[in-house]
Structure 1
């Protein structure tokens, strides 16, 4: 077989074609190696801030239950909320400047389980033996009833948490635990931020309040929460109204 030598022009064309193919292959590999930050997400990051907020609220309203854990600063004092809420009530603990009490609501009935530092009879602390592990039913006409009920009402609590002051804008991508999120900033961040899940349902997962006023985490969306009224032997009766020092 006779080998026909390639002319200079033809050799240049072949080399050029091979180089172009090699370059295309390399750039293709480079393109594949760069990760899409929104790959596998629910698409919330592509929406406007207002749309993300409305869908986050819709997702929150679509399930009956949520767990709220908050470390706040209220009037310069530490305030902690740990509540499990469902559509019929809630249960958990409130800590106000180091003094804690358990809070329970079943329907319209609100109960407190407090220690002697919080509940007093007149000007004297109630006897610890009387209050040990006991619940007090909060009368509906007591001035504290409405405020205490708000801590156990999922809808009311979400209204307070998710209605941030100022115009909303999209912030950075972040994470809450291992879950990817997109942040919403109110008033360019001066009004606080909300982290909305980019995985699965767009639940709100974290709220950072403005001015260093604390952080709230929302978790266990839709998981079962059981609330039951305490038995009679688990309660103590203070009459028509709680002592003035309570709550």
Structure 2
């Protein structure tokens, strides 16, 4: 086993299903489904139009927080990520372990407990050195993260528009009125019914995710120091 790959590769694979937005059945957070009248803001859009508008609003916002649970390979992965442009920061969880992730200025960093590495076959002495320490994720180990950015997320949402049903339902999410768009595969997108048409919740076979903090000016900064894993494991 190439020890460095065992210790690091998993950090880069967790986020791909977390933000895939793919198809599948899911229970929408909002209730309702029957077509209704126009909103107070503008005439009722069709489902495809509304999903497209939601994607545009997300991209124009430039930043967003994504929280929820990704599902895949029989596992549930808690996700809490803040995205700003191409940068990101937050946590993902796996088998009871929490992993912190930061991508800033094109560099990816991760911090995890020793148990996270031990669970993946990393020797105890090495896992101890990596315990709760920021490490740099080598280029080439993080290619899948190209799909985790505000623009990429918006593009993934746009790709759902062509499969969206024409009729749009009304619902409520945390006391906020929403418009519910359902896809042919049963996936659903809850879009803000008032103000900017932000996508507030996405449910699909890949999981359920709630979005907020659109347009936040929070900055994403790299850790003050990070361990070069390649240097720690010669030839790894």
**2:222 alignment partner in structure 1:** 229
Segments of 4+ in structure 1 off by > 6 A? 37-40, 240-243
1:201 Cα deviation (Å)?
0.3
8 Å contact from structure 1 (residues 91, 104) kept in 2: yes
- Cα–Cα, structure 1 residues 207 and 83, in superposed 2: closer, same or farther, change >3 Å? same
Runs of at least 5 residues in structure 2 that lack an aligned partner in the other structure: 1-35
Query: What does 1:1-247 correspond to in 2, within 5 Å?
Result: 41-43=40-42, 46-119=44-117, 123-126=122-125, 130-142=129-141, 145-148=142-145, 150-151=147-148, 153-160=149-156, 163-164=159-160, 167-169=163-165, 170-187=167-184, 190-210=185-205, 213-232=206-225, 235-239=226-230
- Cα gap change, 1:74 to 1:135, in 2 (>3 Å): same
C-alpha distance after superposition, 1:46-72 (max 9, x if no partner): 111222122111111111110000212
1:99 is displaced (CA, Å) by 2.4
The Cα of 1:158 is off from its aligned counterpart by 3.5
Aligned residue number for residue 23 of structure 1: none
Distance (whole Å) between structure 2 residues aligned to residue 200 and residue 184 of structure 1: 17
Task: State the TM-score, normalized to the length of structure 1.
Answer: 0.70
| Higher RCO structure, 1 or 2 (CA under 8 Å, sep 6+) | 2
The structure with the larger Rg is 1
CA RMSD of aligned residues (A): 2.8
Tell me the CA shift for residue 116 of structure 1.
Answer: 1.1
In structure 1, C-alpha distance between the alignment counterparts of 2:171 and 2:186, rounded to whole Å: 18
SS, match of residue 119 in structure 1? helix
TM-score between the two structures when normalised by the length of structure 2: 0.73
Q: Give per-residue Cα distances to partners, 1:91-142, cap 9 Å, x unaligned.
A: 0001123222000000210001111122359741355653343211111122
Question: What 5-or-longer segments of structure 1 have no aligned partner?
Answer: 1-36
Residue-pair matches, total: 197
